[in-house]
Structure 1
């Protein structure tokens, strides 16, 4: 198998159903952002310590789900032989929400914004969160112009909440307190 196809040499790429589109097409931007996020999550896994290693299985599951999400975003949805696959086998939303709820129960409550950071793992999870937000914006742009699997957008929205909760949990596991933003008003009640 050759890695290079030379299709990209002219600024184009082939998506599912053999459609050829520009590399700056909204669809390519959306699934490319999911790919970037997936790589960032892979990096985050490398920062795990003995205390935060329990996050590895769920971060790897998120990577699997991101591949499914990227597949659906690359799929124009106009071919019955290639149906959307994200969310077909399980309910990733319920799973993410259960993780968020579990972490929120054990970390100290905050009522103000916190600064991204703390431990290396928490900082990486905050980067995951912000890359997720950018990815969400790219998906919203695509959704305004083409059919997408709407479950992907909802998952990505919830995923940024997960990364926030997981970052706080990682700091908690390492005994590192979150730092509140000094000019924040009370926002969480």
Structure 2
């Protein structure tokens, strides 16, 4: 099977279900940003400090693929069966947030992103996650979106923020407070 099909040479792409849309369509922008987030999550997973939670990060990446599949489907034409975004996937993020947060000092200020390249990679993923969430919310104004997609993305950005704080602690990096 060839990677290139030439079907998108004129600026369109196919959704699951066969519908062709412009590559600038909000649906494409939404799942493309989720794909970008998944790539950044791979970078986060590849950080040595995150070896103990690699399986957790792989699970997140798998869920992002499921989200991308939902977003890439024509809701009226696709016959592809895509797994649901289960409530327990959101609950797993919440438990992971609580687990990491229990190890952290109380946050008294906003913190500036950075302090270590691993932490910076996490903050970039967090920002891309927020962008994906905004795009999906915009898409939901035009078409029905599974409600757990926005919940998951919202919780994932919280997870990534706490993960960045946890990495800062594990790496003995400096957490720089924002001073307006």
Q: Do the structures match in fold with TM over 0.5?
A: yes
Equivalent pairs, count: 180
Q: What's the TM-score, normalizing by structure 1? A: 0.90
Relative to structure 1, the CA distance from residue 52 to residue 83 in structure 2 (aligned partners, 3 Å threshold; closer, same or farther) is closer
- The answer on whether the counterparts of 1:30 and 1:142 sit within 8 Å (CA) in structure 2 is yes
- The answer on whether the counterparts of 2:16 and 2:78 sit within 8 Å (CA) in structure 1 is no
Q: Offset at 1:82?
A: 3.0
Question: In structure 2, which of residues 70, 73, 76 is the aligned counterpart of residue 75 of structure 1?
Answer: 73
Q: What's the TM-score, normalizing by structure 2? A: 0.94
Q: Offset at 1:41?
A: 0.9
Give 4+ residue runs of structure 1 displaced > 6 Å after superposition.
none
Per the alignment, residue 162 of structure 2 pairs with 165
Per the alignment, residue 94 of structure 1 pairs with 91
Q: Secondary structure at the match of 1:13?
A: strand
- The answer on whether the counterparts of 1:31 and 1:74 sit within 8 Å (CA) in structure 2 is yes
Q: Secondary structure at the match of 2:17?
A: helix
Runs (5+) with no aligned partner, structure 2: none
Q: Secondary structure at the match of 2:21?
A: strand
Q: Offset at 1:52?
A: 3.3
Deviations 1:146-165 (A, max 9, x none): 11111111100110000000
Q: Offset at 1:83?
A: 4.5
1:96-175 matches, within 5 Å, as: 96-175=93-172
Relative to structure 1, the CA distance from residue 6 to residue 92 in structure 2 (aligned partners, 3 Å threshold; closer, same or farther) is same
